[in-house]
Amino acid sequence: MPEPLSDVLDRFRQGDLDAFESIFREHQRAVYGWILRMVRNTAAADDLTVETFWRIYRAHARFLPGRPFAPWARRIATRVALDWLRTQRPDAEFPVEAADLPAPLAADPGITAEIRRKTTQAFARLPPRLRLAAVLSLVEGQPHNEIAAALGISAGAVKLRVFRAVRLLRKELERQGMTP
């Protein structure tokens, strides 16, 4: 019979390596997915997932066992991703998939490639704090309260960051000759 989650989390807080391994196995896929949504780079997401769990392990004594683990892990993962995004050049690749575009645009490969290129450039030029909020809200469709918890800010602050990001994206796309 599997050990209750609260017992595993208690042992993790005390520094038990077996408990950490159990938590890693259970949450690794979700943390990787969360990071991938933010950085949109599979190789970086792999490395950042390892970095996230390293930070989680080092912070084990600060974890409060009565609280849920997943939001705490997402917040650490968000910080790791944000640190990585800050080190990237503004013109670094930020892939936008055809599935992220409206259906009529995604159907035409020529339009899709041009829109993808210009959208990629526009997103890459956003400040990292705004880019994270915009990607998680606009591209990934995450709820504002979940984004707020991960970023350690209020839902109102998330809405403001998304609003500012959209305004900057529009300006950048207009500068590139696109009418959003």
pLDDT at 84: 93
Q: Where are the domains of the chain?
A: 5-87, 98-175
pLDDT at 102: 43
> What token pair was written down for 43?
């190789």
Query: In which element (H, E) is residue 19 found?
Result: helix 17-39
- 98-175 folds as Arc Repressor Mutant, subunit A (1.10.10)
CATH architecture of 5-87: Orthogonal Bundle (1.10)
pLDDT at 38: 86
pLDDT at 64: 86
pLDDT at 77: 95
pTM, two decimal places? 0.72
Residues of the chain with pLDDT under 70: 1-5, 89-112, 180
pLDDT at 18: 93
